[in-house]
Amino acid sequence: MRKLINRFLIAWSLITLFALPSVAQVPDSLGRIRYKYDFVVPDNGNFISAIRAANSRADKKQRFRIFIKSSMYRVKGEGNPITITDKGRELTIPSPMTILTAPNTSICGEGMKNTQVESMPMYGGIDCTSTLFLKGADSTYIQDMELWSNYRDDMNAFHVKAVALNEKNCRGNIFKNLSLMSNQATYYTNDGGTTYLEDCTIKGAVDFICGGGTIYFNRCSLELRNQGGKGNVICAPATEANRPYGYVFNSCTISGAKEQQGRYMLGRPWKNAPRAVFLGTMMELQPDSLGWADMNGTLPRLFSEYESLDSEFQLVPTRLRRTQFKDAYQNTATMRYSAILTPAEAEKYDISNVFPGWRPERKAAQIVPPVVRIKNRGEIYWEDVPEACLYAVCKNRDVVAFTTQPSYTVPRGTAEGACYSVRCANFYGGLGERSNEVVYPNR
């Protein structure tokens, strides 16, 4: 009988253990499961430690949420030895790249302008300079931060490939309010994958968006950096031949160095069967009248525009846009597509058509903040927001605490005049706008 009871107790203990929510899952006062961040930088460690924690976790089916507080973080990368070729010599160097391999990971900061992660690689190249490398990391969500690849701390190294964000074989990635900054190959895109960007900023000079995959840029800002008076090129797609969509720029804005007015190119065909379309683009700076350039003898599958506008909201002249390119033998080939899409053709680039069965713009939606109030004894409270993953409490606009309950008590000793507000996190951990501010103490 005693053995039977012991077996029962052991079995019950195991059932109870596996039935408990994970550390990041917390029931609120109504019993609903909410989530906390699994790793907060710098409270729990540095940026590389956070990525390592995501990579090494046992259950990669559950989302792992990383929060990065406002600051500038300089990263040296994993440090594992890699072999590169520099000026004809083979060198073995510590890797400057930080690599995320685990799926279902969120990396969220406090804002594009105040949460920055910077690397300073000493050697250029796509394969050895990524500030963040997403390697098979499906369903990665990044919001409210900047990734910067600052080659040798030299912002004038325009023709050195220094990647801020590199994706390889990733599916279902979403980037919201993400800033990427470098010169050449700022964003090396997702061969074999799919990615959605919304309200992001990408800065660079030469081919600063390049690679394969189906990549949808929704309401993004493309900022041209001046490179000594030479003309820039925004994108160099290398779309796989079996893909109906490549780079889709929807309702984006092109701005930057005034020296680029009338000099830059929208793109050039890198390899494979390149596709790129610009839809409803606000061109504060207009490109060269040809619009597109040659590259490597590759012929584009589709380079086209629809309703490009200037800064006065007038249609940009596009009658000279080129549809003739040099092939591998330097012969001129005329493409069979039109450089300007018809309205019916443009409709095919709706998100629901580009990503059938996946609506990333809904997943990236931000949670509207509640109205915050304060009691005389210093308790801040608000109406519960059912769809919020958690609440971030802000003091003077900086995040100071997290809670899953609709209230927060101001710590004793807080200086008078401190302003408190609340931000709501969506399922992925991305924080929405701040609520109204209340002043402590309430008099």
Residue 1 has pLDDT above 60, yes or no: no
Residue 115 has pLDDT above 80, yes or no: yes
pLDDT digits (tens, 9 = 90+) for 318-351: 999 999 999 999 999 999 999 999 999 999 999 9
**Domains of the chain by range and CATH?**
35-362 (2.160.20.10), 366-440 (2.60.40.10)
Percent of the chain scoring above 90 in pLDDT: 79
pLDDT digits (tens, 9 = 90+) for 291-311: 999 999 999 999 999 999 999
As to burial, measured by CB atoms within 10 angstroms (0-12 exposed, 13-18 middle, 19+ buried), residue 15 is: exposed
In this structure, what token pair is assigned to residue 180?
């990427």
CB atoms within 10 A of CB 278: 28
* pLDDT bucket at 9, cuts 50 / 70 / 90: very low
pLDDT digits (tens, 9 = 90+) for 98-111: 999 999 999 999 99
In this structure, what token pair is assigned to residue 109?
């900061």
363 vs 83, more confident: 363
pTM of the model: 0.92
pLDDT digits (tens, 9 = 90+) for 221-242: 999 998 877 889 999 999 999 9
CB atoms within 10 A of CB 219: 16
Per-residue pLDDT at 4: 42
Amino acid letter, residue 109: G
CA dist list (Å): 341 to 219, 234, 433: 19, 20, 36
